[in-house]
Amino acid sequence: MRSPSRQPAARGGFTLIELTVVISILVVLMSTGIFFSSAIEEWKRGRDASETLRGVYVAQRSYIADNPTSSLSSLTQAKLLPYLPSGAATFPTVTSLDGHTLAIKVTDSPPVIVDGSGVTYDPSNNPKDSLWDVGE
């Protein structure tokens, strides 16, 4: 007499729980990537602002060296424009974290970024970190 044959094993598939776990992990990884991407973009804007301020600071020192009788309070963007290291045709501006254009106050040394109301703009809250300021 023949023994009953074994049925072939059913094809294995993914269960709903396994698919949910995989999708959840993918969502967490994508969210983390988006978070770090925005943090890097903020750091890049701060670094660009710092580089712009350093260029204006060099222009200030060069102008004062060529015009030693001039006071810092008499400086204007027009006076500093020829002294900018980048050779720009217009005076540089800085973009805030919200995307607004900010001005540079050239009558302070080192120069600072100011918002529309004239308040110093430095979202890093540290004047020595070289982000949004000249730093040390």
Write the pLDDT tens digit of every residue in 45-70: 888 888 999 999 999 999 999 999 98
| Number of folded domains that form the chain | 1
Does a structural domain hold residue 35? Answer: yes
For residues 101-119, give the mean pLDDT.
88
What is the predicted pLDDT for the residue at 99? 86
Tell me the residue range of the domain where 88 lies. Answer: 16-114
Does a structural domain hold residue 90? Answer: yes
Which residues are CB-neighbours of 128 under 8 A, at least 6 positions away?
A: 135, 136
Confidence grade of residue 79 (pLDDT, cut at 50, 70, 90): very high
Does a structural domain hold residue 40? Answer: yes
Question: Rounded to an integer, what distance in angstroms lies between the CA atom of residue 133 and that of residue 136?
Answer: 9
